[in-house]
Amino acid sequence: MIPLSVLDLSVVTTGTKPAAALRNSIDLARHVDGLGYVRYWLAEHHNLASVASPAPDLMIGQIAAVTQHIRVGSGGVMLPNHAPLVVAERFKMLEALFPGRIDLGLGRAPGTDGATAYALRSRLDRREGDDFLERLHELTLWETRDFPAGHPYNNVVAMPDDSPLPPIWLLGSSDYSAELAAQVGMGFAFAHHFATHDAIAAMTNYRVHFKPSGWRATPQSILAVAVVTAETDAEAERLAMSMDLNRLRRDRGQYLPLPSVEEAEAYPYTDAERASIARNRARLFVGSTATVMTKLEPLITASQADELMVITAVYDHAARKKSYSLLAEAFGFAKRGAA
């Protein structure tokens, strides 16, 4: 079995306020550290009532400080929202404090709506169009120090200068991201949980076209999937109802806190809404561990994923922890003991 990792959005529910959601993330990280998960990534989203954490770098430091083994990283930092020097400084600091345990995952999207994206970037040097590649290049230059002769940045040092940038991963949900990660020779994480693009095509394309670089000699890919497991198929299906209603609302532009199972059960679904939920279930892996493994294994094999990253966004925190425990057992992980 391949390694398991966690993607966490610090989900806010109708019964869990944002501050409590952040504390739940720390609790979950401790839990999966003891279960043998290898990586714990935090996302960056802004102006979303359903996501408590807009600053993954802050959460990375908090989680790394209370865990022992697991790597902690961003899934990801939305690079267009930040000056590359700031990203370099913050992640070099994290690497200095927790050497060998930090990951820097980078995304191209703003992680928010247009107005919020403007507010985030209005004081930055804005460029027209998609400038992600330019920002990525600048970020790497703070590590390699290959600025052209006479460039003013030759006199600027990203501190702490005795710590390297952690491993860089490019995040994506399209073939463009896969091709870019392959061309620059970095790790690639594919967001199957919300992508419309075929995961198998993107991940195999990345592997076929990968070019070794100073960042990575061989390709390494992560497949991120949404999973809900429970003792029985029926219980898992019930837990997933919160995600079903949440997705239905998101498709309408309603980014509300995650509803409870009881709220989802009471919702008056139309036939069209039920059909929409059924289509979205193609992105979810729901059921007992036996059912989930039967669905997951063909995708893992076909995509040639090196690692499976799991997001389980259910209403009840205890049920979320149980889902990750059951999955670890199904993958044959040996518990490390309390983190």
DSSP string covering 18-53 = HHHHHHHHHHHHHHHHHHT--EEEE----S-TTB--
* DSSP conformation letters of 96-144: HHSTT-EEEEEESS-SS-HHHHHHHHTTS---SS--HHHHHHHHHHHHH
Q: What's the rounded Cα separation, in Å, for the pair 236 and 40?
A: 23
Q: What single-letter DSSP state applies at residue 312?
A: -
Nearest alpha carbon to residue 42 among 7, 70, 94: 7
Six-digit token pair at 178? Answer: 């896969």
CB neighbours of residue 138 within 10 Å: 18
Six-digit token pair at 291? Answer: 């059912």
Q: What's the rounded Cα separation, in Å, for the pair 186 and 170?
A: 7
pLDDT at 145 over 70: yes
pLDDT tens digits for 188-206? 999 999 888 999 999 999 9
Position 338 confidence tier, pLDDT thresholds 50, 70, 90: very low
Domain of 116 in residue numbering reads as 4-225+304-331
At which residue do the structure tokens 């409590």 appear?
A: 20
**Beta strands 4-8 and 307-311, pairing class:** parallel
Position 330 confidence tier, pLDDT thresholds 50, 70, 90: very high
Position 127 confidence tier, pLDDT thresholds 50, 70, 90: low
Nearest alpha carbon to residue 70 among 101, 109, 112, 105: 101
pLDDT of residue 196: 86
Mean pLDDT, residues 264-291 taken together:
95
Is residue 240 included in any domain, yes or no?
A: no
pLDDT tens digits for 34-92? 999 999 999 999 999 999 999 999 999 999 999 999 999 999 999 989 999 999 999 99
Is residue 248 included in any domain, yes or no?
A: no
- Compute, in degrees rounded to 10, the torsion defined by CA atoms 21, 25, 27, 31: 140
Q: What's the rounded Cα separation, in Å, for the pair 88 and 159?
A: 8
pLDDT of residue 304: 97
Is residue 142 included in any domain, yes or no?
A: yes
Within 8 A by CB and 6+ apart from 250, the residues are: none
Six-digit token pair at 138? Answer: 């600048």
Mean pLDDT, residues 298-309 taken together:
97
Coil, strand or helix at 127: coil
Are 107 and 181 contacting, i.e. CB atoms less than 8 angstroms apart? no
Is residue 277 included in any domain, yes or no?
A: no
- Looking at the whole model, is its pTM more than 0.95? no
Coil, strand or helix at 4: strand
Are 139 and 155 contacting, i.e. CB atoms less than 8 angstroms apart? no
Q: What is the mean pLDDT of the chain?
A: 94
For 281-311, letters b (16+ CB in 10 Å) and e give eebbbbbbbebbbeebeebbeebbbbbbbbb
pLDDT of residue 339: 40
Q: What whole-number percentage of the chain has pLDDT above 70? A: 96
Six-digit token pair at 153? Answer: 């940045």
pLDDT of residue 62: 98
Domain count within the chain: 1
CATH number for the domain spanning 101: value is: 3.20.20.30
pLDDT of residue 125: 60
Tell me how long the chain is.
339
Direct distance between the N- and C-terminal alpha carbons of the chain, in angstroms, rounded to an integer: 23
Is residue 80 included in any domain, yes or no?
A: yes
Is residue 337 included in any domain, yes or no?
A: no
Is residue 259 included in any domain, yes or no?
A: no
Is residue 140 included in any domain, yes or no?
A: yes
